[in-house]
Amino acid sequence: MTHRFNQCGLLEGPAVAAAPVWSVDPRTGKQREQVAVEATAQEVDAAVRAAHAAREALADRAVRAAFLRSAAAGLEQARDPLVGTADAETALGQVRLAGELARTAYQLRAFADIVDEGAFLDVVIDHPDATATPPVPDLRRYKVPLGVVAVYSASNFPFAFSVAGGDTASALAAGCPVVVKAHPDHPALSERVAEVLRRAAAEHGVPEGVVGLVHGFQAGIELIKHPLVAAAGFTGSVRGGRALFDAAAARPVPIPFHGELGSLNPVLVTEAAAAERAEEIGGGLAGSMTLGVGQFCVKPGLVLVPSGGAGDQLVKSLADAVAGTDAGVLLDHRMRDNFIAGVAERAELPDVDAPVTPGEGGEHTVSAGFLTVPAAKLTEEGDHDLLLEECFGPVTVVARYADEQEAKAVLSRLPGNLTATVQLSSEEAAGQGRGPELLAELTPLAGRVLVNGWPTGVAVAPAQHHGGPYPATTSTSTSVGGTAIERWLRPVVYQNAPEALLPAELKDDNPLGLPRRFNGRLER
């Protein structure tokens, strides 16, 4: 589609001034080092072209798998300096970050296994059938990589949702080179992780351009508009994600945009559950909502708790646990400002109380807290709808409901979510009462539905689904788990191609031993 390049006007706009990119310590607000300069349109173009040129080197699945495994090993070998840099830039703590690095390496290896297995190719072979209506010729379908994938890193997972995170791992596994837009909260780490990936690529003869890295807000916009970018993955805010989604859709050739934008992650506590486990639930909620200083996309942000004594006890347990939480450092000072302003605006709404007041901690920290509100305030459109918007940081909203209908009315008004959780009593969990009904009611709200657990913690597993109705995600796909690879592929079918011309994946005798559908029958 060379003739479309000029329509995009990428190289015709005014040159963007090269602004410095600083690594900043959120514990002090001070600049640590200048890491790079923001990429110009020309530099974005060069990164995308270099990635595009690396496609052929990824065509061999064995090379992809080996590359991913070397990348995992490279991360582990450089663990201490990488974790040190990450902690200096994000204040997330060395223990959490070492765990996140291990998860990221695990994920790279999991995608290597997926590449080896080859089920993701979705091979379907139909021999000719003259009796069908209309007759069926010889048809052989599998999936091919889309092309260069743009990856927009997250602030809150400097390893697992950033340069070597799930989007990159799944794209490389699919055979797609990537150009990563670094998150400004961890530019130094981004550069170092990119180096690890490039060294791993070079070990297997893959050009280093297979993983591009650019810094800068404007560079991110140039990237999504580039004619050679074929798809994008994003983890971040509703505002930023929607702007990029809109840009992807408005291109002369629109591209798939798999964005994870925002989620309230509602929790419903039944009367019976509160009666049975008020303290346990209150304590569990405190742990989940304050984990990582409340900076998880799956933080429970709205909790429906029954009114009455059991609910009161739950709220008291929550208050005791949250009050004992240390003040924490958020990822950057802009987030701190937004958190302080966001909780203040919410706390000022009529009938909203703050049993433990969230907000400013020390000079660079914030303190955890939570708000309560009668659920009746949330059953119809009004000022209290602000409480149904995600507030990033260590705060949650406890809505006290009078009866099942009121709780249901609030749930019916929520936008889409990554997760929805129900806390049930042991009898309800055993299938008595409204257990099955509640599970069915929560299913339309989210991509992951939990029973008697907490949404923080997203396992890397074949069945995982990290996505949900908009604005949780902008597509029906997942960014975590085995099926994340599906985002970067498209099917192609060969009709009456002679055996001699077929790729090995599509030959009758299945020399690669791939799972497939053969003449209608599933073969594994």
Catalytic positions are 260, 297
What is the DSSP track for 74-97?
HHHHTHHHHHHHHHHHH---HHHH
Residue 35 backbone phi and psi in degrees, to 5: -90, -40
Q: Annotate each residue in 323-362 with x if it binds a copy of itself (CB under 8 A) or - if it does not, as one string.
A: ----------------------------------------
Binding residue for a copy of itself (CB under 8 A) from 253, 341, 402, 504?
253
Report if residue 9 touches a copy of itself, rule: CB under 8 A. no
Residue 100 CB, nearest distance to a copy of itself (Å)?
9
Report if residue 511 touches a copy of itself, rule: CB under 8 A. no
Report if residue 475 touches a copy of itself, rule: CB under 8 A. yes
What lies within 8 Å, CB to CB, of 173 at 6+ separation is: 64, 65, 68, 111, 112, 114, 115, 120, 485
Chain positions 275 to 294 lying near a copy of itself, rule: CB under 8 A, are: none
Nearer to a copy of itself, 239 or 524 (CB): 524
Q: What is the C-alpha separation between 488 and 61, in angstroms, rounded?
A: 15
Report if residue 226 touches a copy of itself, rule: CB under 8 A. no
Report if residue 125 touches a copy of itself, rule: CB under 8 A. yes
Nearer to a copy of itself, 309 or 491 (CB): 491
Report if residue 495 touches a copy of itself, rule: CB under 8 A. yes
Chain positions 146 to 165 lying near a copy of itself, rule: CB under 8 A, are: 146
Chain positions 383 to 402 lying near a copy of itself, rule: CB under 8 A, are: 385
Of 33-41, 178-186, 358-366, 514-522: span binding a copy of itself (CB under 8 A): 514-522
Q: Which SS3 state, helix, strand or coil, does residue 119 take?
A: helix
Residue 189 CB, nearest distance to a copy of itself (Å)?
19
Phi-psi sector, 398: left (phi>0), alpha (psi -120 to 50), beta: beta
Residue 357 CB, nearest distance to a copy of itself (Å)?
28
Nearer to a copy of itself, 80 or 385 (CB): 385
Structural Rg of the chain based on CA atoms = 25
Q: What is the C-alpha separation between 21 and 31, in angstroms, rounded?
A: 10
Query: Is the Cβ–Cβ distance between 47 and 180 less than 8 Å?
Result: no
Of 11-19, 167-175, 274-282, 493-501: span binding a copy of itself (CB under 8 A): 493-501
Residue 43 CB, nearest distance to a copy of itself (Å)?
25
Report if residue 423 touches a copy of itself, rule: CB under 8 A. no
3-state secondary structure 235-290: ECCHHHHHHHHHHHHHCCCCCCEEEECCCCCEEEECHHHHHHHHHHHHHHHHHHHH
Which two three-digit tokens encode residue 103? 């998860």
Query: Is the Cβ–Cβ distance between 149 and 231 less than 8 Å?
Result: yes
3-state secondary structure 21-37: EEEEECCCCEEEEEEEE
Query: Is the Cβ–Cβ distance between 519 and 123 less than 8 Å?
Result: no
Nearer to a copy of itself, 16 or 105 (CB): 105
Of 213-221, 306-314, 368-376, 462-470: span binding a copy of itself (CB under 8 A): 462-470
Binding residue for a copy of itself (CB under 8 A) from 20, 81, 106, 333?
106
| Kind of pairing between the strands at 229-235 and 257-260 | parallel
Report if residue 376 touches a copy of itself, rule: CB under 8 A. no
Nearer to a copy of itself, 287 or 462 (CB): 462
Query: Is the Cβ–Cβ distance between 425 and 276 less than 8 Å?
Result: yes
Binding residue for a copy of itself (CB under 8 A) from 46, 279, 374, 470?
470
Size of the site for a copy of itself (CB under 8 A): 93
DSSP state of 327: P
Helix or strand (DSSP H, E) at 148: strand 148-152
Nearer to a copy of itself, 336 or 384 (CB): 384
Report if residue 381 touches a copy of itself, rule: CB under 8 A. yes
Number of other residues whose CB lies within 10 A of the CB of residue 373 = 20
Report if residue 524 touches a copy of itself, rule: CB under 8 A. yes
Of 87-95, 119-127, 356-364, 399-407: span binding a copy of itself (CB under 8 A): 119-127
Binding residue for a copy of itself (CB under 8 A) from 25, 60, 76, 122?
122
Q: Annotate each residue in 180-219 with x if it binds a copy of itself (CB under 8 A) or - if it does not, as one string.
A: ----------------------------------------
Which two three-digit tokens encode residue 338? 């937004």
Helix or strand (DSSP H, E) at 409: helix 404-411
Residue 371 backbone phi and psi in degrees, to 5: -115, 155
Report if residue 30 touches a copy of itself, rule: CB under 8 A. no
Query: Is the Cβ–Cβ distance between 407 and 300 less than 8 Å?
Result: no
Nearer to a copy of itself, 249 or 402 (CB): 249
Report if residue 429 touches a copy of itself, rule: CB under 8 A. yes
Nearer to a copy of itself, 283 or 355 (CB): 283
Nearer to a copy of itself, 334 or 413 (CB): 413
3-state secondary structure 334-378: HHHHHHHHHHHHHHCCCCCEEEECCEECCCCCEECEEEEEEHHHH
Of 209-217, 357-365, 391-399, 406-414: span binding a copy of itself (CB under 8 A): 406-414
